[in-house]
Structure 1
Amino acid sequence: MGKRRKPSPPSRARMAVLTTAMAGGAVLAAGTAHAEPTPSLASVKEQVDKLNEEAEQSVEQYNGFQEKQQKLQGEANRIQEKVARGQESMNELRTRLGAVAADQYRNGGIDPSVQLMFDSDPAGYLERASAQNQAAGTQTALLKQAQDEQRKLDQDRAEATATLAQLDSVGTELGARKQQIQSKLAAAQAMLNKLSTEDRAKVNAQQAADKAKAEAQQAAKTAAADRASRSADRPDMSTPAPPASGRAAAIIAFAQAQLGKPYGWSKSGPDSFDCSGLTSQAYKAAGVRISRISQDQWNDGPRIDRANLQPGDLVFFYNDIHHVGIYIGDGKMIHAPRTGKNVEVLPISAMPYMGAVRP
């Protein structure tokens, strides 16, 4: 039998080719395994809208804590001024008590009967003794007054301490809410930044299309209600509200003057507004004071049925009432939407409608 030939080892060139091919395959496999799927524009828009809505919820919470902080600061200042006045009163009482005590010490060291026996001027002594007894009565009255003042001072100091502690707690919560808002807005912006200029334009175009669609739907509903009302020969409760007059006209005039101004969270003008900042300032322009935040504005007046809406009414949205606008008639409102957008006119059907209030 012939000898079996051993297989010859691969040449260096062949080894290099194999190594390169294997390495390339490994890189390709790794790249495929770790590649992140590109989100669709619809997905990006949905996530950005959700983040902006969550940010707006936090804005109204922030506004609430900010308003509470301002009230607590005013209360703390008032109590601290009261404590300062009480301390001044106590210092004055201590000075007067010290003077009475010193006078009694100087004049009360000898028995009164002995003083009268040896006094060269008995009539003068009796006058001085009478004055001394009066001073003792004054001291008793001053001591009681001092005790009452000290008790009040201690109570005021305890109240001031509790108020300042509450103020610190609210300040901490305010900072947390601010961080929460900034984080959500930054996350939304980061998602948009990943898109190309063309895709960002598509997202903006989609938002404009959604708004136009909502307006068309509202117009169709109004027209259908109008036809149904006429055919049934009954008063139409869904026709456009009558033109605004008086207070309502002033409210709407202010809101219209802000159209196009940017949304600014926790802002009440004059250059930017959040939703409740716009509504509170519009009512203020008409001489009506309402609360600063939307959840409180919800309780600033009687509830109004949707069919009975009138221009100037406050309209509220979402289950937690975190968004509010000003009804202007014809199924539309003026509102400050969210970060990145401007004060605008929008159909009230464009968002989850919860109800209306007429302050």
Structure 2
Amino acid sequence: MRGLLPSRRGVLAAVTVVCAVTVLAAPGTAFAHAPATPAPAASSSPQGPAGSPTLRPTPPPNKDLEALRERLDKLYHDAAVATDAYNAAEEKARKQSAEIDELHRQIDEGRRKLDELKDRAGAAARAQYRTGGLPPEVRLVLSDDPEQFLNGTGLVLQGQRATKGMLAEMTRAQQDLRQYTDDASAQWRKLEANRKAKADAKKTIQKRIAAAEKLQSRLQKREMKRLAELEREAALKAQTAWLDTGILTKLKDRASEQGGKAVAFATAQLGKPYVWGAEGPDTYDCSGLTSQAWASADHPIPRTSQEQWKQLKHVDIKDMRPGDLIIYFHDASHVAMYVGDGTIIHAPRPGRTVTVAGAGSMPILGVVRPDTGKAGDGS
């Protein structure tokens, strides 16, 4: 990304510090298992008033906290899946609302056109009434003036064609109006179905997050501290295993021009809170961050991680470059932006902020590339 990201080295320096202190330590969603560490025995110091040791409660065994960590991961994962469903329903609802607005415009235009045609037909009927109700062709036949008869014949034929054309146009306008109305009704039904899907997804999200928060609220400070340590260990173990494959020596360090802009945007969001369904500018969920990052690079992409996986170009992990998106878990329920040096920027989960993490700290499904520009374009 040299020449594309003026703050590249500064960002990477910050990344190194963050990774060492907090990020790799707490990626938000880590599914790899850390080796169990034996629980410390009860302490016999300091001494009590009578010289006898004051025993401290023994922390719960690591296996219990590890099981809790896995349970929390499962709850947050389910919340992420529901968030994707919520975002998808929201995106569909926006499109359907826009389509309904356009149909209403067409309906109004169709009604105006039909009213105009009816006025023209009415004017023709009134003109015929004023001439005694006889059609023009009959009046011409009864005429005693041969020249008038011959000259008028052409006008009659023109009038007949105009009348037929007007009637045909009225028929088409009525058919179009019925079709627009039927389409609008169908879109309203879809919109209502998506609203229900969105409401159901919202309930699922809130239920899973509430369950996770309830589990964590039962922990004491030392247990929360140990749980955080287990998360760090799991993330570090997964990241180390990924790096041990030698992948870092194969990865590219230069982004395309648009990719550099997307990375710069994502970097500027570090520290902002995760909120499900959010697309910025103050809060984000995982796909809200990546979609807005690429929108800032004038390259819109799908809103959800699952659609990003379905619609964007797939690339091999070894060909990954900064700006590419890494899709995680078997159901494509999480997405992050690769920023180079084996790291990502992502919005992890509720209770966390946009942060830097190891690219291999979660199970990778695959990598997608939003743009087709060459690495280093514009440098």
Return the TM-score normalized by structure 2: 0.71
Q: Which is helix-richer, 1 or 2?
A: 1
2:262 matched to 1:251? yes
Structure 2: distance between partners of 1:238 and 1:78? 52
2:64 matched to 1:47? no
Match in the other structure for 1:112: 139
Deviation at 1:225, TM superposition (A): 5.1
Change (3 A) 1:326 1:128: same
Is 2:248–2:341's contact at 8 Å kept on the other side of the alignment?
no
Letter of the structure 2 residue corresponding to residue 178 of structure 1: K
Residues 164-183 of structure 1 mapped to structure 2, 5 A cutoff: 164-183=188-207
Structure 1: distance between partners of 2:120 and 2:345? 66
Is 1:211–1:346's contact at 8 Å kept on the other side of the alignment?
no
Residues 60-99 of structure 1 mapped to structure 2, 5 A cutoff: 60-99=84-123
Question: 2:298 is matched with which residue: 280, 287, 301?
Answer: 287
- Cα RMSD for the two superposed structures: 3.0
- Residues 219-250 of structure 1 show CA distances to partners (whole Å, capped at 9, x for unaligned) of 5753x556xxxxxxxxx863564254633322
2:215 matched to 1:191? yes
- Residues 259-280 of structure 1 show CA distances to partners (whole Å, capped at 9, x for unaligned) of 1111011111111111111111
Secondary structure class of the residue paired with 2:345? strand
Match in the other structure for 1:331: 342
Question: 1:140 is matched with which residue: 164, 187, 195?
Answer: 164
**Structure number with higher relative contact order (C-alpha < 8 Å, ≥ 6 residues apart):** 2
Q: Any unmatched runs of 5+ in structure 2?
A: 1-62, 371-379
Change (3 A) 1:109 1:133: farther
Residues 192-341 of structure 1 mapped to structure 2, 5 A cutoff: 192-196=216-220, 198=221, 202-203=223-224, 205-211=226-232, 214-215=235-236, 218-219=239-240, 222=243, 224=244, 238=249, 241-244=252-255, 246-341=257-352
Deviation at 1:307, TM superposition (A): 2.3
Is 1:45–1:203's contact at 8 Å kept on the other side of the alignment?
no
Deviation at 1:209, TM superposition (A): 4.5
Letter of the structure 2 residue corresponding to residue 112 of structure 1: R
Is 1:325–1:333's contact at 8 Å kept on the other side of the alignment?
yes
Match in the other structure for 1:149: 173
Return the TM-score normalized by structure 1: 0.75
Change (3 A) 1:83 1:249: same
Change (3 A) 1:183 1:129: same
Structure 2: distance between partners of 1:318 and 1:220? 17
Structure 1: distance between partners of 2:214 and 2:189? 38
Secondary structure class of the residue paired with 1:321? coil
Structure 2: distance between partners of 1:191 and 1:81? 52
Is 1:237–1:308's contact at 8 Å kept on the other side of the alignment?
no
Match in the other structure for 1:15: none
Deviation at 1:116, TM superposition (A): 4.4
Q: Any unmatched runs of 5+ in structure 1?
A: 1-38, 227-235
- Residues 60-107 of structure 1 show CA distances to partners (whole Å, capped at 9, x for unaligned) of 111111111111111111111101100110011111101101111221
Deviation at 1:171, TM superposition (A): 1.2
Question: 2:360 is matched with which residue: 346, 349, 352?
Answer: 349
Structure 2: distance between partners of 1:283 and 1:113? 74
Calculate percent identity across the aligned residue pairs: 34
Deviation at 1:335, TM superposition (A): 0.8
Question: 2:187 is matched with which residue: 127, 141, 163?
Answer: 163
**Higher gyration radius (CA):** 1
Letter of the structure 1 residue corresponding to residue 75 of structure 2: L
Letter of the structure 1 residue corresponding to residue 139 of structure 2: P
Match in the other structure for 1:58: 82
